[in-house]
Structure 1
Amino acid sequence: MATLDEMGIDTSRRNPSPRPLSDSERARLEEFIEAIHYSTRYNDNEYEYRHVQLPKAMLKAIPKDYHDQSKGTLKLLWEEEWRAMGITQSLGWEHYEVHEPEPHILLFKRPLNYQPPQ
């Protein structure tokens, strides 16, 4: 399995460790979950990609410590964080970038032919 370093993911743009959502924070995000849009998958020779488009209003309900104040976007999220927000995808996806002109679009990738650990 590829490491985050090998995948080119800048872990300094994440929280030092996954920051769980409280029950009240999770409840505030529930109303947006049905409106999350998932792109089709696309790939290059090494990775498959997809982008996840959050409803713009959802950004305001996401806790402040999930945001990168210097960029005006979300931080790169740990899997536990994006799953807790209601993003559902199969295993192996890593949040590697935020589309800065449209900060509600999160970019994900995983190695081609990803096989989850047994």
Structure 2
Amino acid sequence: MSSPEDMGIDTSRRNPHPRPLSDNERARLEEFVEAIHYSTRYSDSEFEYRHVQLPKAMLKAIPSDYHDKSKGTLKLLWEEEWRAMGITQSLGWEHYEVHEPEPHILLFKRPLNYQPPQ
């Protein structure tokens, strides 16, 4: 299984450890979950990719310590964090970048032909 570092992901742009959402924080995000848009998958010779488009208003409801104030975007999120926000996708996806001109678009990748651990 590939580590985030093996996939070229700058883990210094994440919280040091996954920061769980409180029940109250999770409840504030629930109204947006149905409006999250998932792109089709696309790939190169090494990885498959997809982007996830959050409703713009959802960014204001996401806790401030999930935000990278220096870039004006979200930090790179741990799997536990993006799943807690209501993003649902199969196993193996890593949040590797935020599209800075459109900070509500999160970019994900995983190795081609990813097989979850047994």
Q: TM-score, normalised by structure 2?
A: 0.99
Where do 1:19-30 residues align within 5 Å? 19-30=19-30
Residue 88 (structure 2) pairs with residue 88 (structure 1): yes
Aligned equivalent of 1:18? 18
Partner residue in 2 for 1:45: 45
Q: 1:50 aligns to what SS in structure 2?
A: strand
TM-score w.r.t. the length of structure 1 is 0.99
Identity %: 89
1:55-77 residue CA offsets vs partner (Å, 9 max, x unmatched): 00000000000000000000000
Q: CA deviation at 1:6?
A: 1.1
> What letter is aligned with 2:87?
I
Structure 1: unaligned runs, 5 residues or longer = none
What's the CA shift string for 1:38-91, capped at 9, x where partnerless? 000000000000000000000000000000000000000000000000000000
Provide structure 2 residue ranges, at least 5 long, that are not aligned to the other structure. Answer: none
List structure 1 runs of 4+ shifted beyond 3 angstroms: none
What letter is aligned with 2:100?
A: E
